């Protein structure tokens, strides 16, 4: 018997375990978790931001879709609660998410046309391959970005 003759309810572990099961069954969290790589040079919070961004761009997450709460994100992805908050702050900064106090966080960016989504998906795949290839040769993402910037800037010969 518990306090005042009332039988004890489920303990914190049972309550947390019940919540955790529901959270992990969220399809978005399952997809995000499968794309996370803690051993990658890119911070986990950035990997999640990029994954959500890509899902919005290709149309898998439509405008107005309610995103998990920061707590659900934290528990479902096994990340620090501050990292979950940072993910949503970054998504808001990018214009991908909108937080409405008391209502939740929602996708705020409408997906592009079908053709544009296909082009974006191809570009995302190309970028992923480039990052993998660069890493296989010992380069960081920043090295790759620097090289891309060089190609973007028109080269001018200074010789007469």
3-class SS of residue 27: helix
Per-residue model confidence (pLDDT) at position 12: 46
Question: What is the average per-residue pLDDT within 108-121?
Answer: 73
Predicted TM-score (pTM) above 0.75: no
From the list 64, 81, 72, the residue with the least C-alpha distance to 19 is 72
Q: Is the model's pLDDT at 143 over the cut of 60? A: yes
Tokens, residue 147: 């090289």
Per-residue model confidence (pLDDT) at position 21: 43
Q: Alpha-carbon distance 105 to 92, whole Å? A: 9
């Amino acid at each position: 018997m518990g306090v005042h003759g009332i039988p004890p309810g489920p303990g914190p572990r049972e309550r947390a375990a019940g919540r955790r099961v529901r959270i992990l069954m969220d399809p978005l969290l399952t997809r995000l978790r499968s794309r996370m790589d803690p051993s990658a040079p890119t911070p986990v919070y950035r990997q999640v931001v990029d994954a959500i961004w890509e899902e919005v761009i290709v149309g898998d997450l439509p405008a107005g879709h309610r995103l998990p709460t920061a707590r659900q994100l934290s528990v479902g992805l096994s990340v620090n609660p501050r990292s979950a908050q940072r993910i949503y702050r970054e998504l808001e900064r990018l214009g991908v998410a909108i937080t409405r106090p008391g209502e939740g966080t929602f996708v705020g960016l409408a997906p592009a046309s079908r053709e544009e989504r296909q082009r974006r998906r191809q570009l995302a795949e190309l970028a992923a391959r480039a990052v993998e290839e660069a890493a296989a040769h010992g380069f960081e993402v920043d090295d790759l970005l620097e090289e891309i910037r060089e190609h973007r800037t028109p080269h001018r010969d200074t010789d007469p």
